[in-house]
Amino acid sequence: MIPYATAAEAEGALGRTMTWAETAWYEYSAVMPDSWLHCHTTFILFVIYSIAPLPLLLLEQFAPSVVLPYKLQPRVRLPPAASLSCYMDAACIFPLAVGLQFVSYPAVAKILRTRMGLPLPSVRETIAQLVVYSLVEDYLSYWMHRLLHTQWCYEKIHRVHHEFTAPTGFAMSYSHWAENVVLSIPALAGPVLVPCHVTTQWLWFSIRLIEGINTHSGPCRLIPFYGGAAYHDYHHYAGGRSQSNFAPLFTYCDYLYRTDKGYRYHKLKQEKLKSLAENSADKGGNYSFDEGKKNRYFCA
């Protein structure tokens, strides 16, 4: 809750005129309890999770010719009932998260030290914080993910997420409840180390969710050192046997710790199969590259 009774009082405290964004923020949050602003995170993530995967899923169902050429696993098509079941199982955690946020807010507020009032953060500050959060989260998640692939953790917890060997966007949050708790730690670590404004917090978790949806179903990679859908798809394709591609966002951890060897071999094999298909086509043969692809999903 902003501690100013009027906009003029807020501008007096700032020593300047509020920007249009700050005026909008003042009007929206002036009388709203901080706990409600904190819980907005879950509401925002629920909306994104419910909507973002739909375009590709609808295209696959009603216009498959548009998306099939770009699928990593063209032979795998989930029925609508399976996608709906995945969504319902994963979405049920959001109402529980809201209740948990309300109950834990006093303690969480002391840990996160999130700013709720004015001024709003600058673009430069926001970008710098997001970069730090991304690097911290990627490194910690890499090791958490490797832990989940130890025999006990995989059999008791992580196998639920790997039920989808050809994942969709909704499978991003389809996990054992313990996995959701464990993997929330790396995402929260950045904001704990570098406190931010609540709007930056909303943006950070939204970006992280969209990125997770993308790596489970999305199009090509656009960011340097970003693995994208093809990178994480191989991890699901290999399943519980996978000891490759643990990093959620970038690829440097897998490179540094040599846990991308299986993926590199897989890519080399695919390139050879593609070359064979092209040579066969030049000679009038009928070998299809698709015959060499077993399981792949949306990608570059």
pTM score of the predicted model: 0.83
User: Quick check: is 44 in a domain?
Assistant: yes
Q: Is the pLDDT of residue 206 over 70?
A: yes
Beta bridge partners of 226: 250
Model pLDDT, residue 172: 85
Q: Residue 220 contacts by C-beta under 8 Å, 6 or more apart in sequence?
A: 228, 229, 230, 299, 300
How far is C-alpha 5 from the geometric centre of its chain's CA atoms? Answer: 39
CA–CA gap between residue 203 and residue 130 (Å, rounded): 9
Query: What does the pLDDT look like over 24-61, one tens digit per residue?
Result: 999 999 889 999 999 999 999 999 999 999 988 888 88
* pLDDT bucket at 240, cuts 50 / 70 / 90: low
- Average pLDDT over every residue of 219-234: 63
* pLDDT bucket at 297, cuts 50 / 70 / 90: very low
User: Quick check: is 272 in a domain?
Assistant: yes
User: Quick check: is 135 in a domain?
Assistant: yes
Q: In the numeric block, which tokens belong to residue 6? A: 């009027």
Model pLDDT, residue 296: 39
User: Quick check: is 296 in a domain?
Assistant: no
User: Quick check: is 219 in a domain?
Assistant: yes
Domain of residue 65: give its range.
33-117+127-285
Between 51-60, 150-159, 189-198, 278-287, the lowest mean confidence (pLDDT) is in 278-287
User: Quick check: is 19 in a domain?
Assistant: no
Query: What does the pLDDT look like over 71-94, one tens digit per residue?
Result: 767 677 778 888 899 899 989 888
Burial 175-209 (b: 16+ CB within 10 A, else e): bbeebbebbeebbbbbbeeeebbbbbbbbbbbebb
Give the largest Cα separation in the chain, rounded. 79
- Average pLDDT over every residue of 238-255: 78
CA–CA gap between residue 118 and residue 260 (Å, rounded): 45
Residue of 168 and 207 predicted with greater confidence: 207
**297 and 72 in contact (C-beta within 8 Å)?**
yes
* pLDDT bucket at 214, cuts 50 / 70 / 90: confident
User: Quick check: is 270 in a domain?
Assistant: yes
Burial 67-76 (b: 16+ CB within 10 A, else e): beebbbbbeb
User: Quick check: is 151 in a domain?
Assistant: yes
Work out the angle between the directed axes of helices 177-193 and 198-217 (0-180°, nearest 10).
140
- Average pLDDT over every residue of 225-238: 71
Model pLDDT, residue 225: 59
Q: What is the mean pLDDT of the chain?
A: 83
CA–CA gap between residue 46 and residue 209 (Å, rounded): 10
Model pLDDT, residue 266: 72
- Average pLDDT over every residue of 245-266: 83
Domains in the chain, number: 1
